[in-house]
Amino acid sequence: MVALQMAAGINLEQWVPGLRIGGGVSAMAQNSGRLSVELDPSGDFASVTEVQLTTRFSPVLGVQYQRDTWALGVTYRGELRTDVGLNVQVSDLPIALPLLTIDALAHFDPHTLAAEVSWRPVPDLMLVANLTYRRWSAWTGAPQRTTADSFQPPDPRFRDTLSPRVAFEWRSSTEKLSAALRGGFAFDPTPAPRAGFEPGRDSAGQVRQDMNGNVVLVPVRYLDGHRYVLTAGTGVRWQTAREPLVRFDLFAQAQRVGARTHSISASAVNPGDGGAHMRSAGWMLALGWTGGLEW
């Protein structure tokens, strides 16, 4: 999904030395509409589709306070989500069919609050620490019910997370050339519980029970784990004799998804079904570069 962001900032140096504030909005489109299926005069099926694109906005706010050797910044990003909703109505059949709905949560960015502090013990070295809060508990899950009377999917039971990060940047420069070396580490805890069986919900969102009063359990499989992120990079700036500034940056990142043993097998449908419990783990690697000219 692609979001459009517009923002503006103000430097309040004249009134409060070192203070800067900014704000803006992120915008993302979401789909809704209807699909009508009916019989035409010749007895063939015909369909008419009507789709509407609407826009959802989310605020972005930030403030920074900087002194000689240290700086503090706080940023807030509001929840940004994209819902897909399509009503399917079928008519002219011997039997009546209920209104079918195709609902899903296509994209979700939780409320995010990040605080960061930087310090320069010497002019060429900057140390950074960051703490980011994400309100994942507001996530309702990707699938939705298909009719007004169908069961709601189980509560995903995601929890809020706090992610610490540390980084450094070392710079060395001459009159025409400057170079930078960067590195960082982040711990990103998973918001998802272990895959297993969760209480089912009826059309009103209440916990389902069988004829004996026992809670009905259904399988839920969100396979995720804590992430350990290590990043390194370097950059070069070269001021040419004819004004253009040549810049080149290179980075590499390794993410380790921690091993996790879940409480359900890959094929289990009921709590009594056997089989080896699922296990998730993995690596994600990234490498990239940017280059450009500046006047």
Q: What is the pLDDT of residue 291?
A: 96
104 pLDDT above the threshold of 90: no
Judge contact between 47 and 8, C-beta under 8 A: no
**Separation of alpha carbons 36 and 38, rounded Å:** 7
Q: Specify the range with the lowest mean pLDDT, choosing from 1-15, 68-82, 153-167, 257-271.
A: 1-15
pLDDT over 90 for what percent of the chain? 68
Q: Is the pLDDT of residue 35 over 90?
A: no
Q: What span, in angstroms and rounded, lies between the C-alpha atoms of 177 and 53?
A: 49
Whether 100 shows a pLDDT value over 90: the answer reads no
Q: What integer pLDDT is reported at residue 276 of this predicted model?
A: 94
Report the C-alpha gap between 29 and 81 in whole angstroms: 9
The answer to whether 101 and 86 are in contact (CB under 8 A) is yes
CB 31 within 8 A of CB 1: no
- CA–CA gap between residue 165 and residue 132 (Å, rounded): 8
Residue 63 has what pLDDT? Answer: 98
Distance CA 160, CA 112 (A): 10
Q: Which residues have CB under 8 Å from 197's CB, separation 6+?
A: 217, 218, 219, 220, 263, 264, 271
> Which residues face 32 on adjacent strands?
52, 85
Predicted confidence band of residue 185 (pLDDT cuts 50, 70, 90): very high
**Does residue 1 surpass a pLDDT of 70?**
no
Q: Is pLDDT of 167 > 90?
A: yes
160: confidence class by pLDDT, cuts 50, 70, 90 = very high
**pLDDT class for 228, splitting at 50, 70, 90?**
very high
* Most confident of the following: 24-33, 57-66, 137-146: 57-66
